[in-house]
Amino acid sequence: MHPVLTTVLQRLGLGFLTLFVVSFIIFASIELLPGDFGQAVLGQAATEETVAAFRKELGLDQPAYIRYFEWAGNVLQGDLGTSFSGRASSGVDRSRPVLDLVGPRLENTLFLAGMTAAIAVPLALFLGITTALYRNSIYDRTVNAATLTTISFPEFFVAYILILFLASLNPIFPSLANIDTSTEFWDRIYRSALPALTLTLVIVAHMMRMTRAAIINLLASPYIQMARLTGASQREVILKHALPNAWAPIATVIAFNLAYLVVGVVVVEVVFVYPGIGQLMVDSVTSRDIPVVQACALIFAITYILLNLIADVIGIITNPRLLHPK
């Protein structure tokens, strides 16, 4: 078998093993709940029967490993369990399946993340390549200083500054991104502009700096020297000679930053009251609605692990040393 294929398969295997362990950890979190949890969810007035029935529904009368496989099997079939909220002490059960809560919000979050990526990735590549091209110019220094600042700012600071200037002082964009399924596509983009812009500012900085570093790193290698000696211009050297070899680290950084987007989205959604999965998760943490928290955490963790996995695989398959072994 080709060595690259072996490495990629190994990496994939390791990735799925991680997924399995992570799903186990997220499942195990419910094990750590204090004993009187049924009482806490159903309220003080709950009778012993309702509490017992609730515990049975959670499966707390069965050993943990059986429950894990049941839970994992259900998750694989798309059944994420039932929310804790909406249950009353009288035994009336108005709770909703977690899937119904998560589904539409996941769509919104993916929309926001996709929109951010569509703006951020080309912008970061453009800035990274041009700053490498005009290294140490005023342009380079300004972009560097600006990105360094946005890196060290908390997301909500960036978000509120944008709100102050683009929504409050000059009402261009709405400060609350309330969208629903009936919102038109362009209207949706308009309303999601500020959250997407905030996320863009947060991740562009990192991606741009890594792109610039990857290219500048290559400029020291002998073959670039050779290209220079043949009389190639700076532009030609970077675009024709350096860039093709820099794609691997750049692709890795992009995938890694999209994974970071997963985390950044939580805070930004809360700032703009964007009805996404991050806000759902924070709300459920506050109300201690464990099944919803588990489902959201699982989705976040899977996205994060998969994107990191993709970054790794891209790094492996674009590495010429692995592609052409001796």
Binding site for other proteins (CB under 8 A): 18, 21-22, 25-26, 29-30, 32-33, 148-149, 152-157, 160-161, 163-164, 168-169, 171, 175, 259, 262-263, 266-267, 270-271, 281-282, 284-286, 288-290, 293-294, 296-297, 300-301, 304-305, 308
In the chain, alpha helices (H): 3-28, 37-42, 48-58, 64-76, 98-133, 138-152, 155-163, 185-191, 193-219, 222-229, 234-236, 243-271, 277-287, 290-317, 320-323
Who contacts 153 (Cβ-Cβ below 8 Å, separation ≥6)?
none
Report in angstroms how near the CB of residue 150 gets to other proteins at its nearest: 10
Q: In angstroms, how far apart are the furthest CA atoms of the chain?
A: 86
Which region, left, alpha or beta, applies to residue 187 given φ > 0 means left and ψ of -120 to 50 means alpha?
alpha
Report in angstroms how near the CB of residue 231 gets to other proteins at its nearest: 29
Of the pair 150, 200, the CB lying nearest other proteins is at 150
Of the pair 158, 227, the CB lying nearest other proteins is at 158
Inter-CA distances, 61 with 52, 95, 97, 284, 302, Å: 9, 21, 22, 25, 29
Report in angstroms how near the CB of residue 155 gets to other proteins at its nearest: 7
Report in angstroms how near the CB of residue 156 gets to other proteins at its nearest: 5
Of the pair 143, 281, the CB lying nearest other proteins is at 281
Report in angstroms how near the CB of residue 325 gets to other proteins at its nearest: 27
Of the pair 211, 294, the CB lying nearest other proteins is at 294
The DSSP code sequence of 39-106 is HHHH-TT--HHHHHHHHHHHTTTS-HHHHHHHHHHHHHTT---B-STTB-TTS-B---BHHHHHHHHH
Of the pair 24, 223, the CB lying nearest other proteins is at 24
| CB-CB neighbours of 12 under 10 Å | 13
Who contacts 63 (Cβ-Cβ below 8 Å, separation ≥6)?
none
Of the pair 54, 304, the CB lying nearest other proteins is at 304
Report in angstroms how near the CB of residue 146 gets to other proteins at its nearest: 13
Report in angstroms how near the CB of residue 153 gets to other proteins at its nearest: 5
In 272-289, alpha helices (H): 277-287
Who contacts 20 (Cβ-Cβ below 8 Å, separation ≥6)?
none
Report in angstroms how near the CB of residue 87 gets to other proteins at its nearest: 17
Of the pair 243, 310, the CB lying nearest other proteins is at 310
Of the pair 152, 181, the CB lying nearest other proteins is at 152
In angstroms, the CA 307 to CA 254 distance is 9
